[in-house]
Amino acid sequence: MDGFILQILNGLDKGSAYALIALGLTLIFGTLGVVNFAHGALFMIGAFCAVTLNRLLTLSYVTEDPSRTDFLGNPAKVETPYVVDWFGESVGLAMIDWVVPLAILFSIPIMVAVGLIMERGLIKHFYKRPHADQILVTFGLAIVLQEIIKYYYGANPIPTPAPEAFVGTFDFGAMLGFEPFTILYPYWRLVYFVFAVILIGAVFAFLQFTTFGMVVRAGMADRETVGLLGINIDRRFTLMFALAAVVAGLAGVMYTPIISPNYHMGMDFLVLSFVVVVVGGMGSLPGAVAAGFLLGILESFASMPVAISIIPGINQIIIYLVAIVILLTRPRGLMGRKGVMEE
Amino acid sequence: MTDQTQNPPAIATGAQSTVKASRGGMLGLTANDFRLFLIVLVITFLAPFILNPFPEGSALAQFNAGYPDLMQRFVIFGIFAIGFNILFGLTGYLSFGHAAFLGVGSYGAIWMMKLLTLNVIPAIIMAIIVAGIFALMVGYVSLRRSGIYFSILTLAFAQMSYALAYSVLTPITGGETGLQIKNTDRPLLSNIQDGEIGRANLFGLEMRSSFELELGAWLFTFNAGYYIAAVVMLLAFYMSIRLFRSPFGMMLRAVKSNQQRMNYTGLNSKPYTLAAFVISGMYAGLAGGLMVAMDTQVGPERMFWTASGEVVLMAILGGAGTLIGPVLGAGFIKYMENIISKINSTILHEWFFWLPDGLENFVVALIYPFIGKGWHLTLGIMFMAVVIFLPGGLVEGGQRIAGWIKNRRGSGDGPDKDPEHHPKQAPHVGE
């Protein structure tokens, strides 16, 4: 039983990332009807927002401390970050420690800008083109974005630590009354999961309970009629693209303590997220979220030693296997609507 | 032009030219197709000259592409792209997992060389058979869906093959290190001395053997492996022309333009698409087999989805659905990959030495991100530009330039033959 719970927990953080990316992909597909292969790149840009903020906050000037010497006998050099000077010792160091949560605030305007530029500058021109063209042009864009990041940040992963308070693991099993030390779970993964749930809930609430969201949903159902009612639906859809970019970006920001950001992390997640979207059903938001968590947890189960001893290599292929089975038995995915991508 | 197979009006032209097939051309090709085939044939055979236009040791020698390794890759990826184009260009099914067939074919070929004989012919035949069988299985399942679902299914199969080759199937695939021909291999039919590493050959002619010709300052290399691969490529190209012009090819185009209507007329499109998929997979297997014949090694990264993405880029960049486009695209990308990535900042400084110092540094800094390791950036930008401005790829670009020149000469043929008139294109994906 405890092993069972442990695998579910292990699947949650990856599942959260899949769900967040797939949610954004589905939002874009549902509103604009565009298959966005550059969505993984948005996830990556989000992660690199955290890296950038980390570099900005740790920008330091060097002073010499005559009271201490290094091993050569020269006065020791002390690096003082500028933020420590500006905000004082305690606040400055806390800011550097809490760089990942701070990066959420830092990344939102950047992701909005990136999303708006992408939609207005490129994707707008591809509404009337075939899906294959959309896939190809966004695929090209993904390559370009990833290469730009690689040029400026290098090809190696850049570690970005979580705040001190969330480093380490806690004994989740003992809380539930199991044997102590059977279910150890890293704090940050729990934070990530909670964050993902809140973000997903916020997006759904926004679509469900605000007038803006209602108009967007109406537009998803019947764009033309909403347009005839005198509503500028295109503008709202553009904003939804920006929202999807923000969701992907935040997913990337918060993921940095789990995987050190590298330039190809977006593509790695994108391929799986597409599988998630298709399994959930093209155009279905709850489907994307459910499939994201489902596949994340399944992947975690498949990497149990028991599963690997029964079917070797199952942990590598489980997601694709599930995708194939679901697509062949339920052609529209788990919760796909009729008439989406079937014309 | 021969390559206007993109749109319905051009299909009508194609049909008329099939009727006239007996006139003008040879080998069962129309006059136009035969001319195209001849041009390709001449270029491939003279490639060691054409690709080496600059004398050895000159500043421009780095643009020479006439060395065996690169020339072999031109033709092999040409075959791969031709095969991909049979599926994507004709039926519109966008496969994102085509590298899997190339990889599977490679593994089949290397085992043939390790166990049976170092002669490349059985290895290549084995590669085609293995890839064909694998394509039959993948295609049978994937073709039950169309559009993006088909793309994802093929991608899923390819990624599965990659993951399995990388991990569980290590006894067969060599895992991460892949397979090479080692000095412990004892193929049944080749007699090799102890401790000697077998070399791939064709009835004793080694793939890596080359004949070098020095003409003044120029050095031309004629490599056995390249010419064997080139002959295979020409055969593959010839077969693809015949296939494009055959009734079977017309059937595949019908799938692309409107599969539903085709089904309503009582035709079952599945056997046609499946046949196209398998043929396309066999082309990929052939390319994989040739790759093994040239460098006698395989690794699982050959099946990774980026490799599948690369062949998509080749076909689109050259012009999907055209005869010569994929070959052009493959050559173009492989040339850029090898040449652009060799340029470094020292070379850039040499080029722009005539500028004032500040300006020179500025220009070099401006160009630097696009060369060397950054050539993928150049590729991505070029690819985007082609998709945005030239959906027909390089071939369409060539046609536009040709048409523009024709117009300039004032041979006004009236509005009907206006080369600038491009009817609306049929969508790429059958959905």
DSSP assignment letter at A334: S
A328 lies within 8 A of chain B by CB: yes
Q: Is the pLDDT of residue B16 over 80?
A: no
- Show the tokens assigned to A236: 């709202």
Contact residues on chain B for A151, CB-CB shorter than 8 A: 369, 374, 377
Share of chain B above pLDDT 90, in %: 23
Of A64-78, A258-272, A303-317, B76-90, the range with the lowest mean pLDDT is A64-78
Q: What is the pLDDT of residues B267-283, one digit of tens each?
A: 888 899 999 999 999 99
Q: How many CB pairs under 8 A join A and B?
A: 120
CB B163 within 8 A of CB A311: no
With contacts defined as CB-CB under 8 Å, which chain A residues touch B388?
A: 122, 125, 137
Q: What is the DSSP string of A148-166?
A: HHHHHH-SS----PPPGGG
Helix H or strand E encompassing A60:
strand A60-69
Which residue shows structure tokens 């009629």? Answer: A225
Q: How far is CA A323 from CA A328, B114, B211, in A?
A: 8, 36, 52
Q: Which residues of A touch B384 (CB under 8 A)?
A: 137, 140-141, 144
Of residues A107 and B216, more confidently modeled: A107
- The predicted model gives B231-251 an average pLDDT of 92
Confidence of residue B9 (pLDDT cuts 50, 70, 90): very low
Instruction: Please give the CATH architecture assigned to the domain spanning B32-340+390-417.
Output: Orthogonal Bundle (1.10)
Q: What region, left, alpha or beta, does residue A106 occupy, with left being phi > 0 and alpha being psi -120 to 50 degrees? A: alpha
Identity (one letter) of the amino acid at B140? Answer: Y
Chain B residues with CB under 8 Å of A130 CB are 427-429
What pLDDT is attached to residue B426?
A: 56
- Across the interface, of B147, B160, B312, the residue whose CB is closest to A341 is B147
Give this complex's ipTM: 0.81
- Most confident range (mean pLDDT) of A52-66, A116-130, B412-426 is A116-130
Interface check B380 vs A, CB under 8 A: yes
B315 phi and psi angles, rounded to 5 deg = -65, -45
Residue from B85, B388, B389 to probe the interface with A (highest A Cβ count within 10 Å): B388
B254 pLDDT exceeds 80?
yes
B288-343 confidence digits (pLDDT tens): 999 998 888 888 888 888 889 889 989 988 888 888 899 999 998 888 888 888 77
Q: What is the mean pLDDT of residues A120-138?
A: 85
* B160/A321 Cβ within 8 A: yes
Report long-range pairs for B250-255 (Cβ below 8 Å, ≥24 apart): B250/B11, B250/B14, B250/B15, B252/B86, B252/B90, B252/B91, B252/B276, B253/B5, B253/B11, B253/B90, B253/B91, B255/B90, B255/B91, B255/B92, B255/B430
In whole numbers, what is the pLDDT of chain A averaged over residues?
85
* pLDDT tens figures, B341-375: 877 777 777 777 787 878 888 888 888 888 777 78
Cross-chain residue pair B391–A317, CB shorter than 8 Å = no
What pLDDT score was predicted for residue A311? 77
pLDDT number for residue B5: 42
pLDDT at B422: 54
Tokens of B344: 């470094």
Distance CA B155, CA A228 (A): 40
Q: How far is B187 from chain A (nearest CA, A)?
A: 30
